[in-house]
Amino acid sequence: MISSVVLLGSGNVATHMARALHACGLRILQVYSPHREHAQTLAGMTSSQATHRLAELHPGADLYLIAVSDDKIGEVVREMAPVQGFVAHTSGIVNMNLLDKFENFGVFYPLQTFSKKRFVDIRQVPFCIEGNKEKTRQRLFQLASGLSDSVLYIPSASRKQLHLAAVFVNNFPNHLYAAAAELLREKDLDFSILLPLLQETAAKMKELEPGEAQTGPARRNDVNTLREHSTLLEDHPELKEIYQLFSHQILTKYHDKL
């Protein structure tokens, strides 16, 4: 069983993982971050040691959890000494094999958006697990199951597709929210007036397929409204581009016309 962890990273994912592992009774032996103060802050929250030097990594942990940003994982791996414990990264997109200099390696990917300031219920977060050996998979699965009710074995190809799909339900809707906020600001309206609609749009997905839930002028082929909306967007070329692309795609999908 995995009972001691060295955590590499001090960002949003690292912080939430450290808190969750600590709360579940795991010993966080050490927190590494190239930024000494960041390492110290997170170490302070989890009663562990801090280091900003990979050469000083504790050699005897059961698990080395690499939760640095995607493009830094390779560099961290290169500088790490070979270790006996399991080594896993938390990335949705990075190949598991980037860790193949170790004997037991895998992926421990929490599919959620994390901000340091916001509480997230880890028990609801799906964990995607992969491992180079049956034993690695099992141990990582077991560890994730202690944190969350939703743990899945997902091979790299599927995990990457999932990571891509996550962009479509997280980053891109967020960009649309920003567009709406811009339109409201222009008329001195508060963004909060849209919150019930925004929340209900997401909540509906618990019961309906996205295809069933699709509504709006393009779905109804309501040409008057489409025209009126386009006119309102004259001074917003970027929003107009989004409006036209989406309306065209929705029209084509549901009415089979161009």
Task: Check residue 79 for interaction with a second copy (CB under 8 A).
Answer: no
Kindly report the number of other CB atoms within 10 A of residue 162's CB atom.
Answer: 17
**Is residue 156 helix, strand or coil?**
helix
Residues 232-251: x where in contact with a second copy by CB under 8 A, - otherwise, as a string: xx----xx-xxx-xx--xx-
User: Does residue 82 interact with a second copy by CB under 8 A?
Assistant: no
Length of the chain: 258
Beta carbons of 126 and 120 less than 8 angstroms apart: no
**Which stretch of DSSP H or E encloses residue 139?**
helix 134-147
183 binds a second copy (CB under 8 A): yes
For residue 203, which phi and psi values (nearest 5 degrees)? -65, -35
Q: Could you tell me which residues come within 8 angstroms of residue 36 by beta carbon, excluding any fewer than 6 positions away?
A: 50, 52
**104/148 with CB nearer a second copy:** 148
Please state, in angstroms and rounded to a whole number, the distance separating the CA atoms of residues 129 and 156. Answer: 9
CA–CA separation, 124 and 126 (whole Å): 6
**CA atoms of 156 and 163, how far apart (whole Å):** 10
The residue within the footprint of a second copy, chosen from 52, 58, 137, 219 (CB under 8 A), is: 219
Distance, CA of 142 to CA of 151 (rounded, Å): 9
Is residue 113 part of the contact set for a second copy (CB under 8 A)? yes
Q: How far is the CB of 95 from a second copy (least distance, A)?
A: 10
Phi, psi of 189 (to 5 degrees): -100, 145
Q: Would you count residue 257 as binding a second copy (CB under 8 A)? A: no
Q: Give yes or no for residue 213 binding a second copy (CB under 8 A).
A: yes
Site map 9..48 versus a second copy, x via CB under 8 A: ----------------------------------------
Interaction residues for a second copy, span 124-163 (CB under 8 A): 124-126, 150, 152, 154, 157-158, 160-163
Q: Which stretch binds a second copy (CB under 8 A): 22-30, 58-66, 119-127, 137-145?
A: 119-127
170 binding a second copy? (CB under 8 A): yes
Piece in contact with a second copy (CB under 8 A), picked from 45-53, 76-84, 131-139, 226-234: 226-234
User: Of 90-109, which residues contact a second copy (CB under 8 A)?
Assistant: 93
* 194 contacts a second copy (rule: CB under 8 A): yes
